[in-house]
Amino acid sequence: MSFLEINLKKLTHNYKSIRSLLEPRVKMIGVVKANAYGSAVDVIAKKLVSLGIDALAVAYTNEGVALRRAGIQIPVIVFYPQVHNFKKIIEQQLEPALYSKRSWLKFISIVKETRNSNYPIHVKYNTGLNRIGFNPNDIDWVIAELKHSPIQLKSIYSHLGASEARRPDQKTDSQIDLFKKIISKHKKNATEKIDFHLLNTSGIFNYPNYHLDWVRTGIGLYGFANQFDWNKRLKPIATLKTTITQIHKISKGMTVGYNCGWTASNDTQIAVIPLGHADGIARHYGHGKGWVLINGKKAPMVGNICMDMTMVEIGQISCKEGSEVIVFGTKGRADDLAEDSGTISYELLSGLSSRISRKVVE
């Protein structure tokens, strides 16, 4: 059986480690999109609430609805709300981030239609990532709309494109400078206090002078910092475990897997493990890219990854059918495994399918 072990003590450690970097007045948004980065969103969200997280954030409306159904009552921000879901957002008392004139006008019309007032929203500006967000040139339009719209502006924010890059970074500095101008203009025209935020996990570590009123942390809560020093201080909360299904002796010159994807250069042994690309072990692994740990030793993934199975070369590693296999965890970290195949921990973690059982360790 394959399962993802989720350690809540490590989540607590990561939360407190990041919180310790912030002034008491700075609020923390816990990002739990994509099933809490592939873990178990209900469990993670409830634990973060118990730890004192100020708000949670998701990517899409259905993720926020799931949190409400799980009993989460604190503010839940929806980063990328789609206009056809705006009524559902209001029904579930979620807080949308509005990012364009179209999204603004549509949401305001639905707020009025549902006879709401003072409804909490957030405004996102595009300062250079060029994903979503109001163009900074729209700021006068936004300010004018704020004066007569039936909403409560809870925060204004933007997102850095390279917060993990070594400082100084010209691109990041230009984004910060632009956001400072946005802050200044909104403050001059505000009738009530507005909160501002800019930083994600890497930004929290690298730009302490810009923690502002809120910070957003996702990957850091799950134990990854995108930089060497902080990676040593955070603890990965998830360990993916499985067992060996079968062992084969392979003679020199024999092939393994679909399309004869790997040829043995020597007499060796392979082990078959019950995880494949349907489980989130993508096809860019294999052929020597990627590995698992068996009795503390690395066994490289060989051949093409199958839908349901992966083959690893065990050579002379002491093991047997049924032996435990660690795909990633504290020692064989997910970010190291991801890097080995040219991807990132975010993709590996968030791609883990529901076919993998989740096991929570308190």
The DSSP code for 94 is: -
Nearest to 236 by CA among 19, 35, 37: 37
CB 165 within 8 A of CB 130: no
Rg over alpha carbons for the chain, rounded to the nearest Å, is 23
How far is 336 from 346, CA to CA, in rounded Å? Answer: 12
Q: Which CA distances in Å does 119 have to 94, 109, 122, 153, 239?
A: 10, 12, 10, 8, 40
Catalytic residue among 33, 154, 235, 241: 33
How far is 146 from 125, CA to CA, in rounded Å? Answer: 15
Nearest to 350 by CA among 332, 329, 336, 334: 334
Whether 33 is a known active-site residue: answer yes
Whether 193 is a known active-site residue: answer no
Question: What residues contact 342, with CB distance under 8 A and at least 6 apart?
Answer: 284, 289
Give me the amino acid identity at 174.
S
Question: What residues contact 209, with CB distance under 8 A and at least 6 apart?
Answer: none
Q: Virtual CA dihedral for 330, 332, 333, 336, nearest 10 degrees?
A: 160
Question: What residues contact 203, with CB distance under 8 A and at least 6 apart?
Answer: 160, 163, 210, 215
Question: What residues contact 151, with CB distance under 8 A and at least 6 apart?
Answer: 108, 111, 118, 119, 120, 121
Catalytic residue among 187, 258, 298, 331: 258
Cβ atoms within 10 A of the Cβ of 260, count? 11
Hey, which residues are catalytic here? 33, 258
